[in-house]
Amino acid sequence: MAKILAGIATSHVPAIGVAMDQRKTHEPYWQPVFRGFERSRQWISALQPDVAIVVYNDHATAFSLEVIPTFALGCAADFAPADEGWGRRPVPVVQGHPQLAWHMAQSLILDEFDLTIVNRMEVDHGLTVPLSLLFGQPQRWPCPVIPLCVNVVQYPPPTGNRCFELGKAIRKAVERFAADLRVVIFGTGGMSHQLQAQRAGLINSEFDKRFLDMLVQDPRGAATIPHIEYLREAGSEGIELVMWLVMRGALDERVREVHRHYHVPASNTAVGHLVLENMIV
């Protein structure tokens, strides 16, 4: 059967992708950011996953205020990088895994998660930046990817607990799939940041580091954090951290922390990163 071996949490700051595309990763400003992902690249290269499930939020690329799915699962055979206003990122087309994605859709919907099934979708920096951080800039991504979009842009977003429970349902779906696949799951976005209004540029390192600790040691506690606390402590875009809870819900209650990285700032935001393995891989 298929099995989720590990989870990756990482910010998906668009400027990180630009820095990689323009070969600025060794510049003094960017070097500390990318140094923190070197070990993770070695780790995932050794793991050699067969499929990656990437939980991210769309930034008005595939969806708009006309259609706002709370959860949208990409079931297509491929997903082209989107032009977000400055041209498409020079990264490979994302190859999907329709068989596993459709199996997940059936399992999750029968488990009473109302998914939007997407058969055609472009993917933006929310998905491609995490892939670049972990896999570099290859000619072809090393494994198929299943995109899972979560609405954290338009109120009301799903609660942390709902996202955590979705992760558990994803794990059950994956383990019901007959093929022998090694799966990793990404939770992306965050950490603390606010892009507008009086608190633009807000970063709360104390909250961020506490959230990292909770994600490892007390995920159920992290799942109870209410929307207003994310807003107050982590800024208006800090709500993206609920997507990390989807990833965490798909793992064992107790996990092994393989690597942690936290850096401030990167394009006026806090960058956080965790690699977590199930105890038996």
Task: List the catalytic residues.
Answer: 125, 193
> What CA dihedral angle connects 237, 230, 227 and 54, to 10 degrees?
60
Q: What separation in angstroms does the CA of 160 have from each of 27, 127, 138, 229, 260?
A: 36, 20, 34, 11, 21
In this structure, what DSSP letter does residue 93 have?
Answer: P
The residue type at 219 = P
In three-state secondary structure terms, 38 is helix
In three-state secondary structure terms, 46 is helix
- List the strands of the sheet with 71-74, edge to edge: 116-118, 71-74, 145-150, 51-56, 182-188, 3-10, 271-278, 255-263
Q: Which residues pair with 81 in a beta bridge?
A: 123
Tokens of 146: 């299943």
Residues 6 or more apart whose CB falls under 8 angstroms from that of 244 comprise 9, 187, 188, 189, 190, 215, 274
In three-state secondary structure terms, 7 is strand
User: What is d(CA 135, CA 132) in angstroms, rounded to the nearest whole number?
Assistant: 5
Cβ-in-10-Å burial (0-12, 13-18, 19+) of 67 comes to exposed
